[in-house]
A and B are shown apart, each in its own frame.
Chain A
């Protein structure tokens, strides 16, 4: 499984399998994550995302497969290698009767941080998550969003090589959610390898360089958003609301490379293309050059929801 970037491969997993009794929770799952890359595991609840990352982090014994972190084998008995992992569990995993600073200090000590190094890391993390002025308050007095931020902060405390986030925005208000996504983007830009699980298609599309689509414990497909969309044959659709000789304009657009189809429809022109955004300027010039007046445009791109539907025959989110 190739990484999408040329950076060092940080995490490599292959053939992961885990069953609970008769039920196979995860089977033959494998992927890589490189430094500076955000890899998303996208799937509905119960798809096996948490089981997969639990095996990746050495939380859960796997039945088969292997995981290496920068070339070093990792399992439940591993100790040293785990120091490179920053883990943000799905639920808020903090001690409610300790202050934010005490929570950070405790976990910092477990990562062998001491003295000034520990103090500096604690202050840095509190600054990063915007809780510097609330560090001495007990966390049971925090709002849900603040707890979520601390939850992420604890994952950053050890300055990890690999940051694993298990659905960190579940149950979070839109404002906090946006702040969390901003943080993840920023961390990846700084060179962190990020493994991110979600069942929100929008998050996967926004954050992830590559996405693995997981369903019923199996990795159905993986790749960049564009690769996944092309995998299922979906095309971008551009509708141009225009006035004039629509047939001539459609013919001019259809002649452009990358455009698969252009037809007059509903008082305008419908254009189907592999990557409409890449060809947009040329399409507009061609239509404008044919003497048609453009009133408005609307781009309709296929998304991962459609890919998931295509691959699994079901919706990504079961809201019912």
Chain B
């Protein structure tokens, strides 16, 4: 084991001197996660705004005014005046406003009498989403009015005058359930997390690929024969290579987790789960890249093989963009360790615990064991001719 450590230490020293290795293991994944978050994040969360008009034909009624105040409290809405339905219709038609909300005469009175009122939303044909948003807000407002009416109705005698204090108390009642909207900041955090996970998983395979490929490198440099004449077992040589890969993979992935958490605001979730998945993932990456490397006869060939496997596995596993969990793609993604890793890390990022990553972790470890065992046997044949 001491010989394996000596070889691993030498390999890691050489990796540190090779700036390309640092680039691939650390700079590139962090940089890409940052760029993806910056560009795609902006597309998703850039400011939504809408211009609405409220046409108040309910002279003397207070509900249209409450609705207007509601709209004024929403920062992406701009209000402008429209004195009549015709004017509002005209403004919506020419795109000056995205939608107009019309309160008919006697609306407040009808609502308060329990006879029901009607709110009309006029949408611009050029701003269908904004019109839908206006309609949603109006529907929500109407639902609130329904709830208040129901609360009052259950405590008041039919036909009795409305008690304003009861209405006020009903308005103060905490709703049993409420729908929480996702604000732009929350969305940005999940976006950063996704890309941080994706890039860490994707580049994990490039960070560790020098390991068994190093045997081919030693052969090309002529140093393999010198190693094999030394009083150490061939297993120590292979073990040293795998150990160096494992350590570089663990260090680079751990640094990425820390850096993306601090600098990109990524939320990786349960720390122990993250550690387990990182260890399992790096083991699988070492196993897969080692196996692929043993199929090659030169380092250039091994590098190309590993790149193909890492890119295909990365795309299949959804490291660049979320892939559907249903259908064929949703199933075959689990052929790649990247698919299992993305599944596990996303479970943790969405608040899952250790139990939620049991299957992904098992999948990753099975792949690590199978590929690692085959790679070990093939590597021994490579060194003991």
**Residues of A near any B CB (own CB < 8 A):** 54, 57-61, 76-77, 79-83, 85, 87, 89, 91-98, 102, 106-107, 109-112, 154
A60–B385 touching, CB < 8 Å: yes
B13–A110 touching, CB < 8 Å: no
A96 — which chain B residues lie within 8 A by C-beta?
Answer: 221
Q: Which of B7, B13, B230 contacts A98, CB < 8 Å?
A: B13
B231–A107 touching, CB < 8 Å: no
Q: In whole Å, how far is A297's beta carbon from the nearest beta carbon of chain B?
A: 47
Q: Which of A57, A76, A95 contacts B223, CB < 8 Å?
A: A95
How many Å lie between the Cα of A81 and that of B233 in the bound state?
12
Please name 20 further chain A to chain B contacts, defined as beta carbons within 8 Å, in addition to the given A91-B222, A94-B223, A111-B231, sorted by A numbering.
A58-B228, A58-B229, A76-B384, A77-B233, A81-B231, A82-B230, A87-B229, A93-B223, A93-B226, A95-B14, A95-B221, A96-B221, A97-B14, A102-B13, A106-B10, A107-B226, A107-B230, A109-B6, A112-B231, A154-B226
How many Å lie between the Cα of A61 and that of B228 in the bound state?
12
Q: How would you classify the secondary structure of chain B's contact residues: helix, strand, loop or mixed?
A: helix
A80–B222 touching, CB < 8 Å: no
The 6 closest A-B pairs by CB, nearest first: A93-B222, A91-B222, A83-B231, A87-B229, A110-B230, A82-B231
A87–B226 touching, CB < 8 Å: yes
- Binary A-proximity of B201-237 (CB < 8 A = 1, otherwise 0): 0000000000000000000011101111111111000
How many Å lie between the Cα of A61 and that of B385 in the bound state?
6
Q: Which of A61, A89, A109 contacts B225, CB < 8 Å?
A: A89
How many Å lie between the Cα of A94 and that of B228 in the bound state?
14
- Binary A-proximity of B1-35 (CB < 8 A = 1, otherwise 0): 00100110010011001100000000000000000
**Residues of B near any A CB (own CB < 8 A):** 3, 6-7, 10, 13-14, 17-18, 221-223, 225-234, 384-385
B231–A79 touching, CB < 8 Å: yes
A87–B231 touching, CB < 8 Å: no
**Residue of B3, B10, B13, B234 ringed by the most chain A CB atoms within 10 A:** B10
**Residue of A85, A89, A92 ringed by the most chain B CB atoms within 10 A:** A89
How many Å lie between the Cα of A98 and that of B384 in the bound state?
26
A107 — which chain B residues lie within 8 A by C-beta?
Answer: 226, 230
Cβ contacts A to B, 23 pairs, < 8 Å = A58-B228, A58-B229, A59-B228, A60-B385, A76-B228, A79-B231, A79-B233, A85-B229, A87-B226, A89-B222, A91-B222, A92-B222, A93-B226, A95-B221, A96-B221, A98-B13, A102-B13, A106-B10, A107-B226, A107-B230, A110-B3, A110-B227, A110-B230
A89 — which chain B residues lie within 8 A by C-beta?
Answer: 222, 225-226
Q: Which of B10, B225, B234 contacts A95, CB < 8 Å?
A: B10
B225 — which chain A residues lie within 8 A by C-beta?
Answer: 54, 59, 87, 89, 93
B228 — which chain A residues lie within 8 A by C-beta?
Answer: 58-59, 76
A61 — which chain B residues lie within 8 A by C-beta?
Answer: 384-385
How many Å lie between the Cα of A76 and that of B231 in the bound state?
10
**Residue of A95, A96, A102 ringed by the most chain B CB atoms within 10 A:** A95
